[in-house]
Amino acid sequence: MTRWIDVTALADIPRRGSRVVALPMGPVAVFRTGDDQVFALLDRCPHKGGPLSQGIVHGHAVTCPLHNWTIEFATGAARAPDHGCTPRFEVRIVDERVHIAVAQSLAEAAE
Amino acid sequence: MDMSLRQRLVVVGNGMAGMRTVEELLARAPGLWQVTVFGAEPRPNYNRILLSPLLAGEKSFDQIVINDLTWYRDHGVTLHANDPVIAIDRDRRTVTTASGMVQAYDALLLATGSNPILLPLPGRDLPGVVTFRDADDVTRMTEAATAGGEAVVIGGGLLGLEAAYGLAKLGMGVTVIHLVDRLMERQLDHAAADLLRQELERRGIRIRLSTQTNAILGTDQVTGVELATGEVLPARLVVMTVGIRPNASLAASAGLTVERGVVVADTMATSDPAIFAVGECAQHRGVCYGLVAPLWDMARTIADQLVGRAEAVYTGSQLATRLKVTGVEVFSAGAFDGRDGTEAILLTDPARNRYRKLVLEGDRLVGAVLYGDAADGDWYFSLIKAGTPLGAMRDLLVFGEAIATGGSDASPTAAVAALPDDAEICGCNGVTKGHILAAIAKHQLTTLDDVKAYTKAASGCGGCAARVEQVLALAIGEAAAAPAEKPLCKCTDHGHDHVRAAIREQGLTSISQVMRALDWKTDDGCATCRPALNFYLLIAWPGIYRDDPQSRFINERAHANIQKDGTFSVVPRMWGGVTTAAELRAIADVVDRYEIPEVKVTGGQRIDLFGVKKEDLPAVWADLNAAGMVSGHAYGKALRTVKTCVGSTWCRFGTQDSTSMGIALERMTWGSWHPHKVKLAVSGCPRNCAEATIKDFGVVAVDSGWELHIGGNGGIHVRATDFLCKVTTDDEVLEYCAAFLQLYREEARYLERTAPWVVRVGLAYVKARIVEDPAGRAELAARFRHAQTFAQVDPWAEIIAGRNAAEFRSLDPVEA
Ligand code: SRM
Ligand SMILES: Cc1cc2nc3c(=O)[nH]c(=O)nc-3n(C[C@H](O)[C@H](O)[C@H](O)COP(=O)(O)OP(=O)(O)OC[C@H]3O[C@@H](n4cnc5c(N)ncnc54)[C@H](O)[C@@H]3O)c2cc1C
Ligand code: SF4
Ligand code: FES
């Protein structure tokens, strides 16, 4: 079971930028791409835990600010030649607001 | 020419030597011979040397193919792959193949290479026991490696170590067993071999020296290796690399003279004048070679013979070896282990893991072993081959080419210019300087890739790429070589200079316009091109282009340096390194208020506050702003610090007021963006306490005025400045500085600091623009000052006032 959590208005996220939200599973980076799609990843680079939210967003990917790994939004996976994966979360937009899916169990655990 | 009249050349062996001979022949007389090639391997020919990177996963098979099937077709060469020749009938001049084909020849070329030696150990025929010679061996090893487990390599020579490295990289546990008491004993002395052993052990490869193997164990698959001591090493894969034996059996059964290899004369003809032999299967003047370098000369001689140049001869080769294990540089050549009447020069630097041994006989170099840094290997090898008298160079010889041939001034291009035309540039493919120059002239080549395609230089191990580029620069001039600039990034085919020119000439004023006008391949670029474009637009259109924060690296977007834990550091500007009690007090208060964990004086004469949380940044800045302090841009590709010494105000040697000069410079230049960071310094006398001669723009006071220096930096490669000129007044210092910085930021490529830029365009060019052209200098300085009217806005104040506020706020936490 998943539960949708309303985190922010779409307009609050800069295009090709991001915002960070503290969720029960940890800090989550919410990215908005140049073509206005929204993705959410755990804000931890699979390399050495760099804050992905602080990277440069290009296409449907972000380049980590610490050592330049590029992480794909669609999968959370690092682009070759690097290897690694960061958890990603489902996102939906309802009335210009961004909702993130959180597993029910996690949501309960936090309560 | 009528096909039936053409002479028929049949080549046995589709390997490196055979095909190289065919290429040389085609280059001399394309239609003269009708060429048929038989190959035992089921594929076109490839670069056997690169089987090592293929095994290590550093190259794909396609990348190591030398001539693909289209090439054979286009050049009218008939290839019968996967069909070995099994007999030669010398009376009827025909060969017979395994499939039963009979082919007549007028000339026959044997290029059958060598076979790996299999030790006569029990168990050597078990599945899982392989050699390392061809592409099938690599497939067998990579397949075994996917299942992981243990591998044993028998034989610690060049091939064995490259196999061990590849298998370890593929994830196997690897042990190398070597009979002798040091690795690569045919190429290395004890000291270098020992360093190599330590390095390989650090990479997790186990090495057993002076160790003999008794048997290979297993019933229907290898399970281990038993040593002479009775000890058993478990293994799923055993690689035997104990040596090679020339493949001369076909020649022997045809009755040709064979000793270790097929005996050839200086013309490369065997005991039958219609039959030649080339490569590892041949034995010339008693020597059988096991490296590629001799092949090139042999191939040229045979091609000459085949086009009727009877005087062409091969007289033997000297050899050099390099190990192809990424990150381990090993080179050896000549009489490296010394002999009677020789003496050695040694250089040992254990801390940097370097070793060099040069063997001299009288006034000449006869052998060399390099470990750790082998960049000078080719140069030493050319001295050995040419027998150059060393003379005064002897004293500095061990420090390498740059130092021994005239100090750091001698540019690499000058060194290449001094080489004779027959100097070998690419050892893997035997390409000489003359050959490259001729190809450049004939085909109007302008890029390294072109030169690779036409000459094969730098297409082997790639170690000579820099030298090939120098030959290119020599041929078409450094400036002309520049348009061949690499693409800015994968999103475009255009280089930096082209993009910049287009921005100006086509009046492009936004990142998206640039991308559209120049056919970018991605929708919105990447982390490499966006910051570069943002910078180029900012410099091209001051006051018009609106900076794009999302195209800036986080440090420049958040105006602070990101730390490895995601916190930031804050450095307020401290004009010329001078501060006051009030400023220090304000800093102290901020540290207390925001619980900042560390305060440090920087190498740039100011104070750094480390470990500030991103959300606290605006508040910290507001407090510092209130005390009159602004951002120090310690994070940006921007003007950083202006270091000063106390100068004439206090110092007994000071000739001018260097502190005030520094402050004036910092006031003029702060806030300016550049291709890379820019640092200034002003020293009050030539004792130079502010280290002005390793700064981008350095000023040194003398009695009669100021000396201006440019293009220095600290960093990994320290570069002292070049002297630009001397001026007398303070205003001149400011004008020259503004003009120099403007020229730099208008013309240098993004991320190119002043030092490499000055080296690239030449000091003479900078002098012509700044010193010799007063009107041009005034215009440059005016453009700098105009742009500064828009740039000198404190980014802290802007953010406190609300610009880009979202950047610093996290969203409210959600409890769920
Ligand atoms: C803080 C400081 C060290 C200190 O505690 O003293 C420092 C810290 C860093 N230096 Fe530096 N450098 C500092 C003075 C220097 C100096 C000394 C000087 O300026 O006189 C040098 C040698 C002079 C020079 O630049 O040529 C210096 C040469 C470098 C280099 C090599 C530059 C080069 O061209 O090769 C780098 C790497 C780079 O920029 O790519 C570097 C990069 C860095 C970075 C930005 C590394 C990074 O990307 O994270 C460090 C940021 C730390 C931080 O988060 O604040 N730092 N760095 C100094 C800040 C000075 C300031 O007040 O702004
Ligand atoms: C893994 C590895 C790494 C190496 N690294 C280096 C290095 O770094 N530097 C260096 O200088 N050298 C290196 N070498 C050596 C170099 O590859 C050889 O010197 C070179 O390939 C010899 O060329 P060749 O044409 O004589 O033999 P090969 O390239 O072996 O060609 C001989 C060909 O003849 C075929 N053949 C044999 N008998 C018949 C027959 N009866 N009919 C038809 N075809 C036949 C074989 O199948 C083979 O394809 C390396 C070799 C290996 C295996
Ligand atoms: S010298 Fe290295 S570790 Fe020290 S501050 Fe500079 S970049 Fe960082
Ligand atoms: S932590 Fe992200 S690239 Fe290193």
Closest chain A CA to residue B558:
A54
End-to-end CA distance of chain B: 86
Check whether B650 has a pLDDT greater than 90: no
Among B233-242, B373-382, B604-613, which is the least confidently predicted range? B373-382
Partners of B811 on chain A (C-beta within 8 Å) are 7-8, 12, 19-22, 30
Query: Out of A5, A15, A59, whose CB is closest to B814?
Result: A5
**Domains in chain A with CATH codes:** 2-110 (2.102.10.10)
Q: pTM to 2 decimals?
A: 0.54
Q: Residue B496 has what pLDDT? A: 92
Strands B598-601 and B607-612: antiparallel
User: How far away, in angstroms, is B815 Cα from ligand 3 center?
Assistant: 40
For ligand 2, atom 48, name the residue with the nearest CA: B15
The verdict on a CB contact (< 8 Å) between B550 and A56 is yes
Partners of A107 on chain B (C-beta within 8 Å) are 816
Q: Residue A98 has what pLDDT? A: 93
Q: Which residues line ligand 2 (CB under 6 A)?
A: B 12-18, 38-41, 48-49, 51-52, 84-85, 111-113, 132-133, 159, 162, 247, 250, 279-280, 290-293, 295, 324
- Ligand closest to B103 (CA) is 2
Q: Is residue B622 exposed (0-12), middle (13-18) or buried (19+ Cβ within 10 Å)? A: middle
Question: CA B572, CA B607: separation in Å to the nearest integer?
Answer: 7
Q: Residue B484 has what pLDDT? A: 54
- DSSP class of B810: P
Atom of ligand 4 nearest to the CA of A68: 3
* B184-221 pLDDT, tens digit each: 998 999 999 999 999 999 889 999 999 999 999 999 99
Question: CA B711, CA B722: separation in Å to the nearest integer?
Answer: 6
Kindly state whether A20 is in contact with chain B, defined as any CB-CB distance less than 8 angstroms.
Answer: yes
* Residue/partner pairs of B701-709 with CB below 8 Å, 24 or more apart: B701/B647, B701/B648, B701/B654, B701/B655, B701/B656, B701/B658, B701/B661, B702/B655, B702/B726, B703/B655, B704/B728, B705/B656, B705/B729, B706/B656, B706/B661, B706/B730, B706/B732, B706/B733, B708/B733, B708/B736, B708/B737
Q: Is residue B31 exposed (0-12), middle (13-18) or buried (19+ Cβ within 10 Å)? A: exposed
Q: Residue B457 has what pLDDT? A: 85
Kindly state whether B815 is in contact with chain A, defined as any CB-CB distance less than 8 angstroms.
Answer: yes
Question: CA B596, CA A74: separation in Å to the nearest integer?
Answer: 38
Partners of B558 on chain A (C-beta within 8 Å) are 54
| Residue closest to B9 by CA, chosen among B271, B29, B81 | B29
- A50: closest CA of chain B, how far (Å): 7
Closest chain A CA to residue B58:
A81
Per DSSP, the three-state class of A29 is: strand
* Residue/partner pairs of B781-784 with CB below 8 Å, 24 or more apart: B781/B735, B781/B736, B781/B738, B781/B739, B781/B742, B783/B742, B783/B746, B784/B672, B784/B738, B784/B739, B784/B741, B784/B742
Query: Out of A21, A55, A102, whose CB is closest to B811?
Result: A21
Query: Out of B525, B555, B814, whose CB is closest to A7?
Result: B814
* B70-103 pLDDT, tens digit each: 899 989 999 999 999 999 999 999 999 999 999 9
Which 3-state string (H, E, C) describes B764-794? HHHHHHHCCCHHHHHHHHHHHHHHHHHHCCC
Per DSSP, the three-state class of B680 is: strand
Question: CA B552, CA B561: separation in Å to the nearest integer?
Answer: 13
User: How far away, in angstroms, is B602 Cα from ligand 1 center?
Assistant: 9
Which residue type does B671 have?
Answer: G
Check whether B352 has a pLDDT greater than 90: no
Arithmetic mean of pLDDT, B306-326: 89
Where does the pLDDT of residue B428 fall: very low under 50, low under 70, confident under 90, or very high at 90 and above? confident
The verdict on a CB contact (< 8 Å) between A59 and B526 is yes
Check whether B460 has a pLDDT greater than 80: no
Q: Residue B243 has what pLDDT? A: 94
Q: Which residues line ligand 4 (CB under 6 A)?
A: A 45, 47-50, 64, 66-69
Q: Is residue B623 exposed (0-12), middle (13-18) or buried (19+ Cβ within 10 Å)? A: middle
Closest chain B CA to residue A32:
B550
> Residues 564-583, chain B: which have Cβ within 8 Å of A?
564, 566
Q: Residue B403 has what pLDDT? A: 77
- DSSP sequence for B706-742: EEEEES-B-SSS-BPPEEEEEE-SHHHHHHHHHHHHH
**Buried b or exposed e, range A13-26, using 16+ CB within 10 angstroms:** bbebbbbbbbbbbe
Query: Out of B549, B552, B816, whose CB is closest to A107?
Result: B816
- A17: closest CA of chain B, how far (Å): 6
Where does the pLDDT of residue B475 fall: very low under 50, low under 70, confident under 90, or very high at 90 and above? confident
Question: CA B542, CA B381: separation in Å to the nearest integer?
Answer: 54
